[in-house]
Amino acid sequence: MKTGILAAVLGLLAGCVGSSSVNLNPTGIANRIFFLHHSTGEGLVMGGDVRGVVNAYNTAHGTSFEFWDHEYNSQGLRNASGSLTGTNFAIPGDNTDTYGLYQLWTSSEAGWTASRNQILNNFRVISFKSCFPNSAITDDAMLNEYKTQYLAMRDVFDRHTDKVFVVMSPPPLHRLATNATEAANARAFATWLASDTYLAGHSNVVCYNLFDSLAHPDDGSDAANRLRYEYEGGHNDSDSHPNATANQTVGPLMVQALLQVAVNH
């Protein structure tokens, strides 16, 4: 019994290996697409069979693109075949909220710098997102804070013209987990990220508007800017994770957009 527990603990530790252990073959960078995410992203990646979409694209076009992704540090980095590598980028505090992403790309602190350098050193197309709690944008001050953070990130992206950065808008909240003001502000942030105001003149910065892919249209209804009803995991609770239908629909759209970025840049 003790041996089994020890093995389990060692296995968990292997999944939490620090960022210094990750050193991929540099010759493959040009074809690698990377996605940093948490649980909603996991649903899109696995439920949407994104690697199957990539493989089909490669077969049809004679390309050799690879999709790699990184969830929580405890799971870490998954390679092009979909296998866990037993390594991770040691994202400090597992923080991929908007402020965490701001820290990842701008901070000079050692932990954030190490995580950032691992991503930059191993991938060319780099996509990332915050999860749905970040769509609870309570007021204009919070909305403007988000914009300030993403403008600072863009300044960093401008210094890495050999990379392409795909910013994804946070997914929407369940209609029972938000209100009209928060939902409208979440839509406003997503629209701003995808606009020329943010993107124009920055050829290596692209937006995939994940919010818009998952949210009910801004039509003035009670459902506006919330997770689409048909994408709710449950209609009587406020869990904002998109359901299997959403993952199967939006996951392929997301990775097709990333493939187009890889082709066009």
Phi, psi of 210 (to 5 degrees): -65, -35
> How many folded domains does the chain comprise?
1
For every one of its 265 residues, what pLDDT tens digit does the chain have, with 9 covering 90 and above? Answer: 333 433 333 333 333 444 445 767 777 899 999 999 999 999 999 999 999 999 999 999 999 999 999 999 999 999 999 999 999 999 999 999 999 999 999 999 999 999 999 999 999 999 999 999 999 999 999 999 999 999 999 999 999 999 999 999 999 999 999 999 999 999 999 999 999 999 999 999 999 999 999 999 999 999 999 999 999 999 999 999 999 999 999 999 999 999 999 999 9
User: 15, 84 in Cβ contact below 8 A?
Assistant: yes
Residue 90: predicted pLDDT? 97
| CA distance linking residue 85 with residue 87, whole number of Å | 5
| CA distance linking residue 257 with residue 121, whole number of Å | 23
User: 171, 242 in Cβ contact below 8 A?
Assistant: yes
Residue 151: predicted pLDDT? 98
**Which pairs from 91-97 meet CB under 8 Å and 24+ separation?**
91/36, 91/115, 94/38, 96/36, 96/37, 96/38, 96/128, 96/129, 96/130, 96/131, 97/130, 97/131, 97/133, 97/134
Residue 22: predicted pLDDT? 72
The pLDDT tens digits for 126-163 are: 999 999 999 999 999 999 999 999 999 999 999 999 99
| CA distance linking residue 27 with residue 119, whole number of Å | 15
Residue 212: predicted pLDDT? 98
Phi, psi of 208 (to 5 degrees): -105, 120
Question: Given the structure tokens 């074809």, which residue do they identify?
Answer: 31
Spatial CA neighbour of 129 closest among 44, 28, 20? 44
Spatial CA neighbour of 185 closest among 132, 226, 135? 135
Residue 23: predicted pLDDT? 67
| CA distance linking residue 45 with residue 51, whole number of Å | 8
Where residue 256 sits, what CATH number does that domain have?
Answer: 3.40.50.1110
